[in-house]
Amino acid sequence: MRARNEGTAWGPGTFAVLASLLGLGLWMQRQPLLDILDIAGRDQEQTYILLVPFVAAWLLWLRRSRFRYIRFRPSFTGPAAVILGSLMSWWGFESGTQIAWHAGAGLALVGVVLSMTGLEPLRQFAPVFGVLVLALPVPGVLRQAIALPLQTMATVVTHSMLELCGVAATRYANMLVINGQEIAVGEACNGLRMVFAFTLVVYAFAFSVPLKLSTRVILIALSPIMALVCNVIRLVPTSVFYGYGTASGAEWFHTMTGWLMLPVALVILVRLLRLLTWLELPVAQFRLANQ
């Protein structure tokens, strides 16, 4: 006889119940979910949100062998999460707290799954649930707290690199002047989009290869620094284009090089791991299944 806490195998009936509950949950939480999609589509600084479902699907696919551990195991934890998430979402909407409105909807949907499975999915697919946090739009206060230091750092480092390369440039606060042309580095190129996009890329990389948890934490913690480095690599030639070329040419160069920074970030990650390996530091696990 199978132990009660081990659950039972899934059948057509239990799958149908789960699908129905998820459909009902999506319908009930459609307003905050649609609001997230709307923000991701119109706010250039948060377009990375559109990539989160693809990263989550990729991480889930890598761990597909773990589905055999997910059995039909009804639990009161799920309904509790649904109630808590629904209350959080309601309070967020009524109080104008956007992050609570969105996060509560996500928690309620997770609770729907847990009501049929218990906590096992959280244990087996923790990285998948973790990346979904990045789908929550960043509140304006937090965005400003991140953007302002980035504006200053991007401008200072870019100015220093230009002088190192022999390009005459003058800095006024977060603005550079090259050949009489003013370049608002701080406002237009603060790298806020790159920070969150890089965090998403680093997260996907860290949980796609068999690394130790400490190594993953280090890589994710370094993602803002890598974003700043890549942003400066992009800004130095862009500033020269603005100063000695045409504005349209500089804007085209700035846009095109933005797409190249993610591959550059992957190269940096690979090189960093090789450096840690060369230093004989323990960075890798033996198998992905042990992550």
pLDDT in tens, 26-46: 999 999 999 999 999 988 778
State the number of CA atoms in the 13 A half-sphere of 40 facing the CB: 20
User: Which structural domain, as residue segments, surrounds residue 209?
Assistant: 141-290
Of 100, 121, 137, the residue that ends a domain is 137
Residues 20 and 90 in one domain: yes
The count of structural domains within the chain is 2
> Cα 229 vs. chain centroid, distance in angstroms?
18
For residues 48 and 284, the model is more confident at 48
The pLDDT score that the predictor gives to residue 185 is 66
Residues 11 and 106 in one domain: yes
Whether residue 193 is predicted with pLDDT greater than 70 in this model: the reply is no
The pLDDT score that the predictor gives to residue 131 is 95
Structure confidence at residue 105 as a pLDDT band (50, 70, 90): very high
The pLDDT score that the predictor gives to residue 192 is 62
The pLDDT score that the predictor gives to residue 49 is 92
Residues 106 and 25 in one domain: yes
Residues 55 and 156 in one domain: no
pLDDT digits (tens, 9 = 90+) for 200-209: 988 999 999 8
Of 137, 172, 205, the residue that ends a domain is 137
Residues 158 and 125 in one domain: no
Whether residue 64 is predicted with pLDDT greater than 90 in this model: the reply is yes
The pLDDT score that the predictor gives to residue 246 is 77
Residues 159 and 117 in one domain: no
Residues 129 and 233 in one domain: no
Averaged pLDDT of the chain: 84
Output the CA torsion sign for 226, 144, 214, 133. negative
Residues 16 and 61 in one domain: yes
The pLDDT score that the predictor gives to residue 187 is 55
**Alpha helix stretches (DSSP H) within the chain:** 12-28, 30-42, 52-62, 77-95, 98-117, 120-124, 126-131, 140-164, 185-188, 192-206, 213-244, 247-278
Question: Hey, which of 5-19, 87-101, 273-287 has the most confident mean pLDDT?
Answer: 87-101
Residues 113 and 148 in one domain: no
State the number of CA atoms in the 13 A half-sphere of 106 facing the CB: 18
The pLDDT score that the predictor gives to residue 281 is 66
Residues 236 and 278 in one domain: yes
Residues 254 and 147 in one domain: yes
Residues 111 and 192 in one domain: no
Cα gap 91→36, rounded to integer Å: 17
Cα gap 145→140, rounded to integer Å: 9
Q: Tell me the percentage of the chain whose pLDDT exceeds 90.
A: 39
